[in-house]
Amino acid sequence: MGVLTGLQPENVFHYFEEISRIPHGSGNIKAISDYLRDFAKERNLYHVQDKFGNVVIVREASAGFEKEAPYILQAHMDMVAVAAEGCAIDMKAEPLKLKTEAGKIYAEHTSLGGDDGIGVAYCLALLDTEEVSLPRLEVILTADEETGMQGAKEIDLSLLQGHRMINLDQEEEGIFIVSCAGGARVDVDIPLEDDFTDRQGMHQLTLRVKGLLGGHSGVEIDKGRGNANWILGALLCGLTLRWDIRLSKIQGGQADNAIPREAEALIWVREADAAKIEEFLKAEEDKYKRELDGKDVGFYLEKVYHNSTVFDKCYTSASTKQAFACLCKLPNGVIDMSADVEGLVETSLNLGVMSLQENGLRLSYAVRSSVDRSRENLCRHMIEIAERTGARVEIRNAYPGWAYRKESPLRDKMTAVYRELYGKEPMVQAIHAGLECGILAGKIANLDCVSIGPDLSDVHTAQEKMDIASVGRVWDYLLAVLGS
Question: How many whole angstroms separate alpha carbon 72 and alpha carbon 161?
Answer: 9
* Binding of residue 169 to Zn ion (CB under 5 A): yes
> Which residue, 115 or 144, is less far from Zn ion as judged by CB?
115
Instruction: Give me the least distance between CB of 144 and Zn ion, in Å please.
Output: 11
* 237-276 binders of Zn ion (CB under 5 A): none
Instruction: Please choose, out of 18-26, 115-123, 289-297, 330-338, the segment that lies near Zn ion by the rule CB under 5 A.
Output: 115-123
Instruction: Please choose, out of 64-72, 111-119, 387-395, 460-468, the segment that lies near Zn ion by the rule CB under 5 A.
Output: 111-119
Instruction: Give me the least distance between CB of 116 and Zn ion, in Å please.
Output: 4
* Binding of residue 115 to Zn ion (CB under 5 A): yes
> Which residue, 169 or 262, is less far from Zn ion as judged by CB?
169
Structural contact between residues 437 and 165, judged by C-beta atoms closer than 8 angstroms: yes
Q: Is 145 a catalytic residue?
A: yes
Question: How many whole angstroms separate alpha carbon 108 and alpha carbon 120?
Answer: 21
Cβ–Cβ contacts within 10 Å for residue 376, how many? Answer: 16
Instruction: Give me the least distance between CB of 172 and Zn ion, in Å please.
Output: 13
Instruction: Please choose, out of 80-88, 116-124, 215-223, 278-286, the segment that lies near Zn ion by the rule CB under 5 A.
Output: 116-124
Instruction: Please choose, out of 108-116, 310-318, 335-343, 351-359, the segment that lies near Zn ion by the rule CB under 5 A.
Output: 108-116
Instruction: Give me the least distance between CB of 22 and Zn ion, in Å please.
Output: 17
* 127-156 binders of Zn ion (CB under 5 A): none
> Which residue, 20 or 204, is less far from Zn ion as judged by CB?
20
Catalytic residue selected from 145, 195, 244, 464: 145
* Binding of residue 171 to Zn ion (CB under 5 A): no
Catalytic residue selected from 17, 18, 78, 372: 78
Instruction: Compute the CA torsion angle 459, 462, 463, 466 (nearest 10 deg).
Output: 50
Q: Is 279 a catalytic residue?
A: no
Instruction: Give me the least distance between CB of 242 and Zn ion, in Å please.
Output: 50
Question: How many whole angstroms separate alpha carbon 25 and alpha carbon 94?
Answer: 11
Given 18, 116, 173, 244, the residue binding Zn ion (CB under 5 A) = 116
Residues that bind Zn ion (CB under 5 A): 115-116, 169
Catalytic residue positions, numbered: 78, 145
